[in-house]
């Protein structure tokens, strides 16, 4: 082996090892984050965290029950906006549209998907907060719902496209109308994929903080109905983390652990659905 | 995001001969109209968003013009607004983050696409996908309590001792600042670079690798001199995507950048970014022109990410088409 070849082999081995190191570092960040949250948050989670309201500044204890309920309400309302528009829009793109309209809709959806979340917050502020003249659950849910639309729309379209054409033809040969075919044959065939997409969209907006800052705002108490400002887990983590109080820091860790656990569980669950139903996509 | 542009061929019989009434009663036309309304809503929302940003930033656009981007005074009381420190902070943090994230992310992507066995590659990719799902406020939380102390106690003093002759690494080590924000951003965008670059590398046809190996190149030479150049445009696309993310990121940056509008050559100096100033001051902005100046900043952010995302999509489309086209030859 000439020295030159030996050198080339050494470089090859060295650089390839280095890429392995890069991959290890990148993946270990996840376990590092999880470990820290479990370490700091685990010791701060107790029953009070889930059942009590925040206590006034200076008092020790209290919980984030209102933020947990607030987040749930925001997500529910957001899906009421984001899922129908995304789903039916996706059905239109996959089943009915001609290519020039489809191009415009897809372009708009991709554009919307790339808009920084804080800008979506300003949009919701102008559209919902200003007319009602105060911060509200509704405004926060609107912002999150808008963020759900592009993800749901593009995935619905993609999964509908993946349904084999023979299924459609079979249904229509039996005399079913176009719409009947879509609703009772095509959509059920793509059901798992679409559910996964909706779950992933929910998990993504569940952690969004920036669009809630000036829409849902925050609240130290319960927020009845949908027209009052409301607390939410991500905003609570933000306010508590940058506060100067140790007890609040403790609770920020606990809230971070709860939020991350929820998001990761939904992610893992959603990916499990799609991998079990993978056959339809082949 | 796959960018399939094929539309499903019309599977039904030609409906042209049937009357509109017949089609309406079969429900198909109604369904088409209803789903069209939902699809049109998406376009409507997007157009509305752009119009609203444009309309609600008219005051500062007329009063300050292009000076808005060139002056550094941000004085709500005198109603003088210049965005330079925020634009500077956004660009500096994004640059720092890419300088860290691109080599690391590309390296990891090469490992996943070229070296690791399928099973290991898929498992690691699964973890990378989970990492991409971690919300930014969690990164901010870890930034505040882990990264900032680490920077203040260890990394910044170390850099000052070793590279302190550079103006980049001078000044007091506060912990917060451009450098810390850049590092937190880097951690956040690495998963995007890895996922997209891995896809692009995997789409490089097998013949390319085999030809290089057959000509006597080592494994690394075939990867670095053949596969990576072949996937170059797609990798650029992934970097643009990451850059767009880094520019628009709000929470994590707000929590670690220090929130002081300064322009300083030192990376250790506290700074401010466009997204952070909007997050901090929007609810407190009194006075029309103050609020509208913040909205103009949002417009700038929107345009930046719009351009970068568009470029990224174009580059990725070009690569995937090139990959599949060559594969069939």
**Of residues B22 and A192, more confidently modeled:** A192
- Could you tell me if residue A203 is inside a domain? yes
Q: What is the DSSP string of B172-191?
A: ---S-SHHHHHHHHHHHHHH
CB contact under 8 A, B49 and A253: no
Q: For A70, left (φ over 0), alpha (ψ -120 to 50), or beta?
A: alpha
B36 by Cβ neighbours in 10 Å (0-12 / 13-18 / 19+) ranks as middle
For residue B1, pLDDT beyond 80: no
Mean pLDDT score of chain B: 87
d(Cα A152, Cα A194) in Å, to the nearest integer? 8
d(Cα A71, Cα A141) in Å, to the nearest integer? 9
Residue A145 lies in domain? 63-281
- Could you tell me if residue A12 is inside a domain? no
Pair of tokens at residue A138 = 């509704």
Pair of tokens at residue A280 = 């339809």
Contact in structure between A243 and A152 (CB atoms under 8 Å): no
What one-character DSSP code corresponds to residue B9? -
Touching A: B residues 29-58, CB under 8 Å: 30-32, 34-36, 38-43, 45-49, 52-53, 56
- Could you tell me if residue A235 is inside a domain? yes
Q: Which pTM does this prediction carry?
A: 0.90
d(Cα A26, Cα A86) in Å, to the nearest integer? 33
Q: Is A76 helix (H, G, I), strand (E, B) or coil?
A: helix
d(Cα A159, Cα A150) in Å, to the nearest integer? 14
Among chain A residues, the shortest Cα distance to B131 is held by: A30
d(Cα A180, Cα A11) in Å, to the nearest integer? 62
Average pLDDT over residues B195-202: 93
ipTM confidence score: 0.91
Alpha helix positions (H), chain A: 3-42, 47-51, 65-91, 99-114, 117-124, 130-132, 137-161, 165-173, 178-181, 187-189, 191-206, 233-241, 246-276
Query: What is the tens place of the pLDDT at every residue in A218-263?
Result: 888 898 888 899 999 999 999 999 999 988 999 999 999 999 999 9
Of B4, B42, B218, Cβ closest to residue A12 = B218
Q: Please check whether the domain covering B84-328 is classified as CATH 3.40.190.10.
A: no
Query: What is the tens place of the pLDDT at every residue in A30-39?
Result: 999 999 999 9
Q: Is B80 helix (H, G, I), strand (E, B) or coil?
A: strand
Average pLDDT over residues B32-49: 94
- Could you tell me if residue A5 is inside a domain? no
For residue B138, pLDDT beyond 50: yes
Question: Domain holding A139: CATH number?
Answer: 1.10.3720.10
Largest CA distance in chain A: 79
pLDDT on residue B19: 66
Query: What is the tens place of the pLDDT at every residue in B205-234?
Result: 989 999 999 999 999 999 999 999 999 999
Mutation for B interface: A23, A75, A90, A240, most B CBs within 10 A: A23
pLDDT on residue B327: 36
- A229 contacts chain B (CB < 8 A): no
Of B115, B244, B298, Cβ closest to residue A19 = B115
pLDDT on residue B328: 34
Q: In which element (H, E) is residue B81 found?
A: strand B80-81
Contact in structure between B195 and B244 (CB atoms under 8 Å): no
Q: List CB contacts of B328: < 8 A, sequence separation 6 or more.
A: none
Radius of gyration of chain B (CA): 25
Q: Is B197 helix (H, G, I), strand (E, B) or coil?
A: helix
d(Cα B235, Cα B109) in Å, to the nearest integer? 10
CB contact under 8 A, B133 and A267: yes
For residue B300, pLDDT beyond 60: yes
For residue A110, pLDDT beyond 70: yes
Among chain A residues, the shortest Cα distance to B222 is held by: A12
- B21 contacts chain A (CB < 8 A): no
d(Cα B128, Cα B121) in Å, to the nearest integer? 10
Pair of tokens at residue B122 = 């898929």
Of A89, A115, A234, Cβ closest to residue B305 = A115
Q: How many domains does chain A have?
A: 1
Mean pLDDT score of chain A: 90
| Closest of B310, B288, B257 to residue B144, by C-alpha | B257
d(Cα A88, Cα A84) in Å, to the nearest integer? 6
Average pLDDT over residues B229-254: 93
Q: In which element (H, E) is residue B75 found?
A: strand B74-75
pLDDT on residue A152: 94
Query: What is the tens place of the pLDDT at every residue in A127-151?
Result: 999 998 889 999 999 999 999 999 9
A279: confidence class by pLDDT, cuts 50, 70, 90: very low
Query: What is the tens place of the pLDDT at every residue in B101-125?
Result: 999 999 999 999 999 999 999 999 9
Among chain B residues, the shortest Cα distance to A150 is held by: B42
Q: In which element (H, E) is residue B104 found?
A: helix B84-110
Mutation for A interface: B5, B46, B194, B252, most A CBs within 10 A: B46
Cβ pairs bridging A and B (under 8 Å)? 291
A191-206 helix and B118-133 helix, angle to the nearest 10 degrees: 50
pLDDT on residue B7: 46
Sequence ranges of the domains in chain B: 24-55, 84-328
pLDDT on residue A127: 93
- Could you tell me if residue A237 is inside a domain? yes
Query: Rounded to the nearest 10 degrees, how much is the dihedral formed by the CA atoms of A39, A43, A48, A49?
Result: -10
What one-character DSSP code corresponds to residue B69? G
| Closest of A134, A94, A157, A155 to residue A214, by C-alpha | A134
Chain-centroid distance of CA A269 in Å reads 13
pLDDT on residue B322: 60
B318: confidence class by pLDDT, cuts 50, 70, 90: confident
For residue A211, pLDDT beyond 80: yes
- Between the alpha carbon of residue B29 and those of residues A102, A179, B32, B125, the distances in Å are 17, 9, 5, 43
For residue B163, pLDDT beyond 90: no
Query: What is the tens place of the pLDDT at every residue in B144-156?
Result: 999 999 999 998 8
CB contact under 8 A, A16 and B35: no
| Closest of A102, A221, A200, A100 to residue A157, by C-alpha | A102
CB contact under 8 A, A88 and B103: no
Q: In which element (H, E) is residue B209 found?
A: helix B206-214
């Amino acid at each position: 082996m000439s020295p030159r070849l030996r050198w080339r082999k050494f470089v090859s081995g060295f650089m390839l090892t280095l890429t392995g190191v890069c991959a290890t570092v990148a993946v270990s960040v996840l376990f590092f984050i999880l470990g820290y949250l479990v370490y700091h948050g685990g010791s701060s989670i107790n029953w009070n965290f889930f059942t009590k309201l925040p206590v006034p500044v200076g008092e020790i204890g209290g919980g984030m029950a209102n933020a947990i309920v607030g987040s749930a309400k925001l997500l529910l309302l957001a899906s009421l906006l984001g899922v129908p528009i995304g789903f039916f829009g996706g059905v239109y793109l996959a089943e009915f549209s001609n290519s020039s309209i489809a191009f415009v809709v897809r372009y708009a959806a991709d554009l919307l998907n790339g808009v920084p979340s804080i800008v979506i917050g300003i949009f919701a502020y102008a559209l919902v907060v200003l007319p009602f003249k105060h911060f509200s659950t509704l405004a926060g849910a609107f912002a999150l719902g808008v963020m759900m639309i592009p993800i749901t729309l593009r995935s619905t379209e993609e999964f509908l496209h993946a349904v084999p054409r023979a299924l459609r033809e079979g249904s229509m040969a039996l005399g079913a109308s176009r719409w009947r075919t879509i609703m009772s044959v095509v959509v059920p065939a793509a059901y798992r994929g679409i559910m996964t997409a909706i779950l992933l969209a929910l998990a993504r907006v569940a952690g969004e903080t920036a669009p809630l800052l000036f829409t849902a705002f925050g609240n130290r108490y319960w927020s009845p109905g949908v027209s009052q400002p409301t607390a939410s887990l991500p905003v609570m983590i933000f306010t508590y983390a940058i506060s100067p109080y140790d007890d609040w820091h403790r609770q920020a860790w606990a809230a971070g652990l709860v939020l991350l656990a929820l998001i990761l569980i939904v992610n893992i669950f959603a990916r499990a659905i799609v991998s079990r139903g993978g056959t339809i996509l082949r | 995001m796959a960018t399939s542009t094929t539309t499903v061929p019309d599977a039904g019989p030609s409906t042209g001969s049937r009357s509109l009434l017949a089609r309406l009663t079969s429900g198909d036309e109604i369904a088409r109209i209803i789903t069209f309304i939902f699809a049109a809503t998406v376009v409507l929302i997007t157009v509305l968003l752009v119009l609203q940003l444009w309309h609600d930033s008219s005051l500062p656009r007329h009063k300050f013009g292009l000076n808005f981007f060139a002056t550094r005074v941000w004085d709500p009381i005198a109603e003088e607004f210049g965005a330079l420190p925020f634009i500077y902070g956004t660009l500096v943090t994004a640059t720092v983050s890419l300088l860290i994230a691109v080599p690391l992310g590309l390296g990891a992507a090469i490992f996943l696409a070229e070296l690791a066995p399928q099973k290991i590659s898929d498992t690691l990719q699964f973890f990378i996908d989970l990492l991409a799902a971690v919300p930014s406020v969690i990164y901010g939380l870890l930034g505040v309590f882990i990264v900032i102390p680490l920077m203040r106690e260890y990394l910044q003093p170390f850099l000052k001792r070793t590279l302190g002759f550079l103006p980049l690494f001078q000044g007091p080590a506060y912990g917060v600042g451009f450098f810390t924000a850049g590092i937190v951003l880097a951690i956040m965008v690495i998963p995007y670079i890895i996922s997209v670059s891995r896809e692009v590398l995997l789409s490089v046809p097998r013949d390319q690798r085999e030809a290089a190996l057959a000509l006597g190149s080592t494994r690394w030479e075939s990867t670095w001199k053949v596969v990576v150049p072949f996937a170059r445009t797609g990798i650029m696309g992934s970097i643009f995507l990451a850059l767009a993310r880094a520019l628009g990121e709000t929470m994590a940056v707000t929590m670690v950048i220090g929130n002081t509008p300064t322009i300083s050559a030192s990376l250790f100096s506290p700074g401010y970014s466009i997204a952070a100033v909007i997050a901090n001051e929007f609810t407190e902005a009194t006075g029309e022109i103050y609020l509208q100046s913040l909205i103009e900043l949002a417009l700038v952010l929107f345009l930046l990410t719009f351009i970068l995302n568009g470029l990224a999509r174009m580059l990725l489309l070009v690569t995937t088409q090139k990959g599949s086209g060559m594969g069939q030859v």
